[in-house]
Structure 1
Amino acid sequence: MTIEEAKNIKLEDYLHSLGYNPVKRQGMNLWYKSPFREEADASFKVNTEINKWYDFGLGKGGNILTLASVLYCSESLPYILHQIEEQAPHICPVSFSFQKQSPTEPSFQRMEVKSLESPVLLSYLRERGINTELAKRECCEVHFENNGKHYYAVGFPNVRGGYEIRNKYFKGCIAPKDISHIRHTNRQNEVCYVFEGFMDYLSFLTLRLDSCPQYPEFDKQDYMVLNSVSNVSKALYPLGNYLRIHCFFDNDRAGMEAILQIRKEYGSTINIRDASHLYSGCKDLNEYLCKRNPLREKKFIQTSVPKKSKGRSL
């Protein structure tokens, strides 16, 4: 994708493909709740005439390239264009009816959450190398309507009641967007494994279960899924409760910058490990899973299983 091709994409269509819809219109301006943080009132504006945005809370704005730069925490133009191009198949022109929409209404209508049972969705997960029994435990099936059309996808809940949603043809979220934190309230773990997206989290569980089925402790670990590296700032406070953090981010600049941000916050007090070398040569952990090699998997499990500390099994 070229710079001009990216700039020709309407911002409202791009935001809609990511799961963000405006809450009101004022002339040529569409107002959104900011995709960068939690807020009660909309402070993110898109001018549809000049196709530019401005976030009043951030004090920053620009075109689709600057928006993607903030969303993906990267200033690398090739990476930003790649991310926009990956989302491009899901971008289609949309129209919004504000007469029937209020700031408190969800982006999607008639949403129904049920157990993950769809053969189509389970087949999609198997294509991604995911153990479907694990997926049934960790995920759900979300049905919803948008512009009068019915959709369904694999859903992964976050801490604020929103969902990351995926199917073979769609990648987005049902707001509010936030991190997912999987922890065990009956024990205080010292270690947290952090992933960029939930497909990487499911890939990790699949690798560990397939390569070490006798190992019971993976079910007792604490995990965190950012659901986008743009959420790393939301993860900093809860990560402060751990002594060791293992980061399984993408092998790209955005992943590196996310780890740097965590190290900047806690580098002197918490042992922070970049585990991306375990799947070097692959974009992310799911690609590593899909290209699985028994010898590499054995090494992966040996180095990713936490060591036991005195008096506590991790």
Structure 2
Amino acid sequence: MLNKVMLSTESRMRGDMQVRFGGRYGKTYCRKAVRRSVPSLRLGKGGDIFHLAGELTGSADFMEQLEFLSGKSGILPLRPLQERKKIPRVSGFEDVKVAELSHEALKAYLKERGIDPAIAGRFCKEVAYGIRGKRYFAIGFMNRSGGYELRNPMFKGCISPKDISCVSLSGKKNDTCCVFEGFVDFLSALVLRTVTDEDCLVLNSVSNLERSYAVLEGYGKIRCFLDRDRAGITTLESLNIHFGNKVTDCSGLYDGFKDLNEYLTKTKENK
């Protein structure tokens, strides 16, 4: 319902359309969908509700997006947008500290995902950070620009800048590169030993695909371990168009599962 309430409110604010939810017969209808100054849900841009909030507010800041969504859903009071524009922008993450992965709660989370903490510790860090005066911590996976992908049982986010991550397992140039959407799938491949000494590229988001092209140009073979959903299929198609027969779809390994990590966890549960 959060998505519907926010869209209805934003549509009325901008005069793009009139939307009704509920009513005597529970019908939903819209009319006068004429202007497209706000990106339409049919314009071909993927993403979750936070990506949409970013488009509507013109902000890439996670906390501003969250505040916007909270206000639209009635969860928290929100100042009018015109007032918010006058307030200096505050970074979402404060006092970021990076250390070796050691917290037992994070190790327990990795084990729940079927991942050996010792393997994760080779590539991940423990990142402590503040948001609006409160302290949090998460597993951090660094990208090539120095940003971190963050993951804990309750949160999935990123400390900017957002970028791809490149990992050399052998320490030297390899002719093969394995491509993953997220670092949890990358770690899953290490546990399953589906990768050994190949180079690996983690997109950290399918929206980073074009950033990977320059890196992938240097490889003779590209093995893809992408999610078996629409976003993953579209990403694979784009790679096939760009690199042709260099690309191999390896998702048959986890046929019947959404991604490599789901395959790993379900396989371990059945043993």
Q: Distance in 1 between matches of 2:164 and 2:226?
A: 14
Aligned to 1:70: 45
Aligned partner of 2:102: which letter? E
Shift of 1:7: 2.4
Aligned partner of 1:183: which letter? S
Question: 1:279 aligned to 244, 250, 254, which one?
Answer: 254
Q: Deviations over 1:59-91 (max 9, x none)?
A: 98425x468x5244xxxxxxx68x99xxxxx95
Unaligned runs of 5+ in 1: 11-46, 53-58, 73-79, 85-89, 210-216, 298-314
Give yes or no for contact 2:175–2:219 (8 Å, CA) kept in 1: yes
SS at match of 1:152: strand
Aligned to 1:244: 221
Shift of 1:50: 3.8
Give yes or no for contact 1:107–1:175 (8 Å, CA) kept in 2: no
Q: How does 1:255-274 map to 2 (within 5 A)?
A: 255-267=232-244, 270-274=245-249
Q: How does 1:117-156 map to 2 (within 5 A)?
A: 117-156=102-141
Aligned length: 226
Aligned partner of 1:4: which letter? K
Q: Which has the higher contact order (CA 8 A, sep 6+)?
A: 1
Identity within the alignment, %: 38
Q: Answer with 1 or 2: which has the greater Rg.
A: 2
Q: Distance in 2 between matches of 1:99 and 1:147?
A: 15
Q: Distance in 1 between matches of 2:179 and 2:130?
A: 32
Q: Deviations over 1:123-180 (max 9, x none)?
A: 1111111111011111001111111111110000001111110100001111111100
SS at match of 1:254: helix
Q: Distance in 2 between matches of 1:167 and 1:128?
A: 11
Aligned to 1:29: none
Aligned partner of 2:93: which letter? F
Q: Distance in 2 between matches of 1:144 and 1:165?
A: 10
Give yes or no for contact 1:70–1:230 (8 Å, CA) kept in 2: no
Q: Which runs of 4+ in 1 moved over 3 A?
A: 47-52, 90-102
Q: Deviations over 1:18-44 (max 9, x none)?
A: xxxxxxxxxxxxxxxxxxxxxxxxxxx
SS at match of 2:45: helix
Q: Distance in 2 between matches of 1:172 and 1:8?
A: 26
Q: Distance in 2 between matches of 1:232 and 1:178?
A: 10
